[in-house]
Structure 1
Amino acid sequence: MKSKKDLRLILVLSVVVHLVSSVPEVSPERCTIQEEYAVCILRPSSDKPSDINGTLYFAQKLVPGECKADFISIQVYIDNVPLNDGNHKHGLHIHEFGDVSNGCDSMGPYYNPRSATHGGPWNSPNDRYVGDLGNVRQNPKTGRISVRIVDYMARLTGPESIIGRGIVLHANEDDLGVNKSDPESLKTGNAGARLACCVIARSPPIPDDKFTLYK
Structure 2
Amino acid sequence: MFLLLFLIPGLILCECNVSTGEDVQPTAVSPLQDIQKKVNELWSSLLYPHLYEEVLASNGTAYAVCTVKPSTKLDAGMPQVTGQVLFRQTYPYGKLESIFYLDGFPTGANLSGRAIHIHQYGDLSDSCDSAGGHYNPFKVNHPSHPGDFGNFYSKEGKIIKYKANLVATLFGPYTIMGRSVVVHVQEDDLGKGNNKASLENGNAGKRLACCVIGTCNKNQWVKRFSEIMEKRKKRLTRRAQNSPA
Q: TM-score w.r.t. structure 1 length?
A: 0.72
Q: Which has the larger radius of gyration?
A: 1
**Residue 176 (str. 1) matches residue 176 (str. 2):** no
Distance apart, 1:57 and its partner CA: 1.1
**Residue 38 (str. 1) matches residue 64 (str. 2):** yes
Q: In the comparison of the two structures, how many residue pairs are matched?
A: 170
SS of the residue corresponding to residue 198 of structure 2 reads helix
Q: TM-score w.r.t. structure 2 length?
A: 0.63
Residues 130-188 of structure 1: CA distance to partner in whole angstroms, max 9, x if unpaired? 1211111101xx21100012243111111010010000000111011023x32111111
Separation in 1, partners of 2:195, 2:217? 42
* Alignment match, 1:198: 211
Is the Cα–Cα contact under 8 Å of residues 111 and 153 in structure 2 kept in the other structure?
A: no
- 174, 194, 199: which one pairs with 1:186? 199
Is the Cα–Cα contact under 8 Å of residues 177 and 189 in structure 1 kept in the other structure?
A: yes
The amino acid that maps onto 2:214 is: A
Separation in 2, partners of 1:171, 1:213? 28
* Alignment match, 1:97: 121
The amino acid that maps onto 2:128 is: C
* Alignment match, 1:57: 86
Distance apart, 1:83 and its partner CA: 4.0
The 5 Å alignment of 1:1-215 reads 34-48=60-74, 50-61=79-90, 68-83=92-107, 87-119=111-143, 128-139=144-155, 142-179=156-193, 181-206=194-219, 207-211=221-225, 212=228, 215=231
Distance apart, 1:85 and its partner CA: 11
Is the Cα–Cα contact under 8 Å of residues 97 and 166 in structure 2 kept in the other structure?
A: no
Is the Cα–Cα contact under 8 Å of residues 148 and 213 in structure 1 kept in the other structure?
A: no
* Alignment match, 1:14: none
Distance apart, 1:93 and its partner CA: 0.3
Higher RCO by CA contacts (8 Å cutoff, separation 6 or greater)? 1
Output the aligned Cα RMSD: 2.5
Distance apart, 1:51 and its partner CA: 2.8
Which sections of structure 2, spanning at least 5 residues, go unmatched?
1-54, 232-245
Is the Cα–Cα contact under 8 Å of residues 71 and 153 in structure 1 kept in the other structure?
A: yes
Separation in 1, partners of 2:108, 2:63? 35
Residues 82-134 of structure 1: CA distance to partner in whole angstroms, max 9, x if unpaired? 34797431000000101111010110001000001001xxxxxxxx0112111
SS of the residue corresponding to residue 138 of structure 1 reads coil
Structure with a larger share of its residues in helix = 2
Kindly, what percent of the aligned residue pairs are identical? 36
